[in-house]
Amino acid sequence: MTGQPASTPAIQISEEVARAVADGRPVVALESTIFTHGLPRPRNLAVALEAEQQLRAAGVVPATIGVHAGVPTVGLSTEQITELAATDGLDKVSLRDLPVVAALGRHGGTTVAATAFLAHRAGVRVFSTGGLGGVHFGAAESFDESADMTTLAATPVTVISAGVKSILDIRATLERFETLNIPVIGYRTTKYPGFYVTDSGHEINFAVQSAAEAAAVIDARDRLDLPQAVLIANPVDPAKQLPPEELDGILARAWAEAERRGITGNASTPFLLDHIQRDTGGRSLEVNVEVYRGNVRLGGEIAVALAALGGGAGGVDRAGRSAGAGRADGSAAATAGA
Ligand code: PSU
Ligand code: MN
């Protein structure tokens, strides 16, 4: 594959997404790392397409985001999603990687960081994912903490997750969110979810009780012109979680195996998740899918509530800023940037 000619727009936004943003209709961004690196085939494709259908059924336009042949794309087509889900060895693209894969014309699954960046550029305000990146254990020495955190500190989207990946140092991650001025709000709970389990054992300060309340928080963030993401933490149904008493053992075995094999850096999540899946006889995969469904559902509800408030992307909001701030052309054209 070759690089893009200089005249090609930097970001491709599908017609459907561009129109919905321009009209102020609800749109939810979805990441691609979840189906390129997080879930095994063939389930990955089924989950990616189901998420889109789930949103459409709720009257919400899905915007699956990834890099196709070097083009960062907001609103991948079903064909493109199918191709990415079937491609071996494609890149896991965080924000630092975006210019590289763009220039080299590669395919890539975008992480929360890269997805949030692209969503914001396209004027998409709500983003549903599974688990966020955060601080890895031993980060004080390894410096391994996800660029998801620093990116979200500078990207005013709303991200619905079931907490951070359970393989992370959750206490340290919550401390970093505090330092970075990123609000973490539980959905109907102040117990921070632990991805595979409903309660990680860590308390957070605030809860919202409805999608409308979440939308009010987002609206307040925008009126204050604050630059950071709002994180909505949505726990898995307790009846569907992994048995909490088994989690420590499952994680300990996964870490031990990663250490034995010398797996580090951005390869560690895919390795650990795959290990956990085999160790639990596939139960973790079912929980992962359930978690994602719940976050897609709530993301849709929040996007609908936000659209009902008006303002935001596609128009000029109350603060008089042009919406989709950061967009290169500020218009509702099907492409942005150059
Ligand atoms: N949660 C999962 N599986 C994943 C990820 C999160 O259950 O694969 C991905 C997300 O895309 C997240 C990324 O943004 O891992 C963070 O990776 P890193 O820690 O290398 O930044
Ligand atoms: Mn990392």
Ligand 1 center–CA 127 separation, angstroms: 14
Question: Is the Cβ–Cβ distance between 215 and 302 less than 8 Å?
Answer: yes
Contact 294, 238 (CB under 8 A): no
- Taking the C-alpha atoms of residue 267 and residue 51, their distance in angstroms, rounded to an integer, is 25
Q: Which residues contact 196 (CB under 8 A, 6 or more apart)?
A: 166, 236, 241, 242, 247, 276, 284, 287, 288, 291
3-state secondary structure of 5: coil
Phi, psi angles (nearest 5°) of residue 168: -95, 170
pLDDT, position 143: 92
Backbone φ and ψ of 318, nearest 5°: -60, -30
**133 Cα nearest atom in ligand 1:** 16
Q: Given this model, what pLDDT does residue 7 score?
A: 54
- The whole-number pLDDT of residue 167 equals 87
The torsion angles phi and psi of 201, rounded to 5 degrees, stand at: 95, 0
Q: What is the pLDDT of residue 313?
A: 47
Res 327: pLDDT: 38
Distance 72 CA to ligand 2 centre (A): 21
Closest CA to 113 of 146, 143, 69, 70: 146
Give the pLDDT confidence score for residue 310 in this predicted structure: 87
Reported pTM: 0.90
pLDDT at 224: 98
Using only C-alpha atoms, the chain has a radius of gyration, in whole angstroms, of 19
- In angstroms, what CA-CA distances link 195 with 169, 179, 199? 13, 22, 8
Of ligand 1's listed atoms, the one at least distance from the Cα of 109 is 11
Separation CA 327–CA 23 (nearest Å):
16
Among the bound ligands, name the one nearest to the CA of residue 131. Answer: 1
Count the Cβ atoms, other than its own, within 10 Å of residue 60: 26
Instruction: Summarize the chain as % helix, strand, coil (round to 5).
Output: 45, 20, 35
Q: Name the token pair of 166.
A: 């359970």
Please work out whether the CB of residue 167 comes within 6 Å of at least one atom of ligand 1: no
Of 301, 307, 290, give the one whose Cα is nearest residue 57: 301
Nearest CA to ligand 1 atom 4: 38
> Looking at the annotation, which residues are catalytic?
31, 165
Q: Which ligand is nearest to the CA of 270?
A: 1
pLDDT along the chain (338 residues), means of 10: 58 98 98 94 97 98 98 98 96 97 97 98 98 93 94 98 93 98 98 97 98 98 98 98 94 93 86 93 96 98 96 44 39 37
Ordered domains of the chain (ranges, CATH)? 12-243+284-308 (3.40.1790.10)
Query: Looking at residue 217, what is its pLDDT?
Result: 98
Query: Quick one: pLDDT at residue 40?
Result: 92
Q: How far is the CA of 93 from the centre of ligand 1 (A)?
A: 10
